[in-house]
Amino acid sequence: PLCEKRHFIKSFVRFGGYSLLSVGVAAVILLSAYYSLTFGKTTFTNPSWAFNFKFDLIDLLIKFLPGSYDTVRPEGLPFVYCGMLTIILLPVYFLSSKFTVREKVAAGAVIAFFVLSFSISTVDLVWHGFQRPNWLNYRYSFMLCFLVLMLACSAFSELKSVSSKTIFAICTSLAALVVFIQTLDREYVSDLETIWFSLACIASYLVLICILKVTKFRDNILLIITFFVSFELFANGLTNVVDLNRDVVYSKYSSYTNFMAQLRPIVRLVQENDTSFYRMEKTIHRKTNDNMALKIRGLSNSTSTLNSSTIAFLNRMGYCSLSHWGKYAGGTPVNDSLLGLKYIITPANEDLSDYYTRAYAEGGFTAWYNRYALSIAYGVDDKITGIVANDYEAPCDYLNALVSAMLGEEEIIEIFVPIEVENVTTSPLCQRSYIAGHHKYAKASEDAAALVYYTFTAPNDREVFFYLPSDYPREVSLKVNGMSKGSFYGSDTSRIVSLGKFNEGETVVITMTLVNNDLYVKNGYDCLYYIDWAAFEDAMSRLAQVQYNIVEYTERSFKGTLTSPRDNQIIQTTLTFDEGWKIYVDGQKVEIFETLDALVAFRVDAGEHTIEMKYLPDLFVLGFAI
């Protein structure tokens, strides 16, 4: 600063210039990430902006100690552990005469800023992009660790400027603080891993630092300190691994490899025999992102950036879909065909409905073929633009209306035909009442077994589907004629449920056992359906008349042909709506628009066309150029 004229101005310009350069280098990532976040993450929650302090400062001090893992859940504290030697050296920095008052004030101010950012809920929200993080709180805490490590490094280089008495006083005070922490009632503080291990580290580093200040064999002592630091970090890392497993439980390596090894042969068999573009799914799940590992193009997916419109759309279609994930459960011939699911993989002992045929078998699994699966794009009527999702309480009603609109019908085609519930009864300890347009079923006491029974007579020899409309879903366990059908309205079980196939005239009893204290069922809505096979077959054959024939594709593009019988024909795709899609008809770019609050659509005139679809967001191009 003393050797350069106008140093402050020049340094400020340099700092700003290199900051802009670093942002520019990362622009391709930053702009793409921002674009992805605009699809729903920025409005994922409606957080409270109330000003409050999130934890006691003593809790933050504890988190600087080894073995202080608490949780990665939403209530977790910042992860700021960066070694006991660092914590000893931090006061050394502020007590050393080698650093100016200005440097110390600046360093203290930045540390205080981070502490306040952790503590004050409003500031913490700003750091997280105005949304509360979904687990793994305080994701910027590494910045404080970096600063503290830098200060400790500076202090270590100037150890001789501080007396051994001062270092002894620092270590004694720190040891007293650790002993005091032991008296506090903190579940995540372990006597061995946090208290005694911290005291051992303090004592070890105190001795080594004092020797380092006077010895001629400096390199040897530095080597010993390196060993102690490495051992401490390894021990802390090991305790964190164990505690994290105790908190949220790891998946075993074998559970992943074994699951994938079982499914890969049947997937490979299908893909070797059918090299066209199609969607494929499976009825067994390890995690929602299995498809990525298996290289299956399906519906199941989980992502932190999420796409809220797609998740809501899949839920309306009858699949399991909630929060930041969607899972293939709730598939029927209707929704599967509309979304182009050509193959469904099941365990060999599991049967799908009569609408699917066995195509391949390998390794204890069967791949079922859906001959009615539509292409990724097909022609529909303009009435599809008038579909309002909120007008329909149940997926089956929505699918009836959707297919009818696609075909341009004035009247609703009942592909899903309602079945009358003949009788609704409850167990003695289940209380029934009416509230807010719902039937309410409640346990008579906390420990009571509350059951609700729906009885109906099978109208034909068809598969029966179940969906219970409710504005206040509460989990129940399902049984049909005494056979378990899993749960409904649980965290990942809100979907169309296949109850199975019954003989005409057979009496069927659905038993719902309340998992929670109450259950709400919307008044006046159907909950049981069968598929009118003739209506379904007719609808799918009509929709298949104007289909996109894909002849070439990559991971972000399609090329093919389509013949339209009329001008201004809407071509409905089953691609998630995204301005990044560019569609070219006979080489000319056409305008895309959103349908069903989720999907890409465009228009073509009468005749045969070559259609090319490419995905490339403008912000990616801009970021790459920058």
Long-range contacts of 539-544 (CB under 8 A, 24+ apart): 539/403, 539/407, 539/413, 539/415, 540/337, 540/372, 540/374, 542/407, 543/374, 543/378, 543/379, 543/380, 543/403, 543/406, 543/407, 544/372, 544/374, 544/378
- Average pLDDT for 531-538: 96
Stated length of the chain: 626
Task: Please tell me the pTM assigned to this model.
Answer: 0.87
The candidate with the shortest Cα–Cα distance to 501, out of 525, 535, 470, 533, is 533
In angstroms, the CA 473 to CA 399 distance is 21
Determine the pLDDT at residue 390: 84
Structure tokens at 362: 């390998």
Q: What secondary structure letter does DSSP report for 298? A: S
Determine the pLDDT at residue 447: 86
In angstroms, the CA 121 to CA 139 distance is 14
The candidate with the shortest Cα–Cα distance to 278, out of 337, 321, 332, is 337
Q: What secondary structure letter does DSSP report for 339? A: T
Residue pLDDT, tens place only, 227-271: 999 999 999 999 999 999 999 998 889 999 999 999 999 999 999
Residues in contact with 126: Cβ distance below 8 Å, sequence separation at least 6, in sequence order: none
**pLDDT over 80 (residue 412):** yes
Residue pLDDT, tens place only, 94-117: 999 999 999 999 999 999 999 999
Residue pLDDT, tens place only, 307-362: 889 999 999 999 999 888 999 999 999 999 999 999 999 999 998 888 899 999 99
Name residue 246's amino acid: R
Separation in Å, CA 306 to CA 47, 302, 309, 321, 327: 18, 7, 9, 11, 13
Determine the pLDDT at residue 293: 94
- Average pLDDT for 363-390: 95
Structure tokens at 350: 């599991």
Confidence grade of residue 43 (pLDDT, cut at 50, 70, 90): low
- Average pLDDT for 519-524: 93
Determine the pLDDT at residue 115: 97
Q: Exposed e or buried b for every residue in 476-485, given b needs 16+ CB within 10 A?
A: bbbbbeeeeb
Confidence grade of residue 522 (pLDDT, cut at 50, 70, 90): very high
Residue pLDDT, tens place only, 208-232: 999 999 999 999 999 999 999 999 9
Judge contact between 276 and 550, C-beta under 8 A: yes
Determine the pLDDT at residue 1: 65
Average model confidence (pLDDT) for the chain? 94
- Average pLDDT for 491-509: 92
Determine the pLDDT at residue 49: 86
Residue pLDDT, tens place only, 599-611: 999 999 999 999 9
> When comparing pLDDT for 281 and 160, which is higher?
281
Confidence grade of residue 394 (pLDDT, cut at 50, 70, 90): very high
In angstroms, the CA 76 to CA 169 distance is 32
Judge contact between 403 and 338, C-beta under 8 A: yes
Cα Rg, the chain, nearest whole Å: 32
Determine the pLDDT at residue 44: 67
Span of 1-10, 169-178, 270-279 with lowest mean pLDDT? 1-10
Judge contact between 492 and 475, C-beta under 8 A: no
**pLDDT over 90 (residue 305):** no
The candidate with the shortest Cα–Cα distance to 480, out of 516, 443, 447, 454, is 454
Q: Is the dihedral of CA 101, 105, 111, 115 positive or negative?
A: positive
Q: What secondary structure letter does DSSP report for 195? A: I
Widest Cα–Cα separation across the chain? 98
- Average pLDDT for 281-303: 94
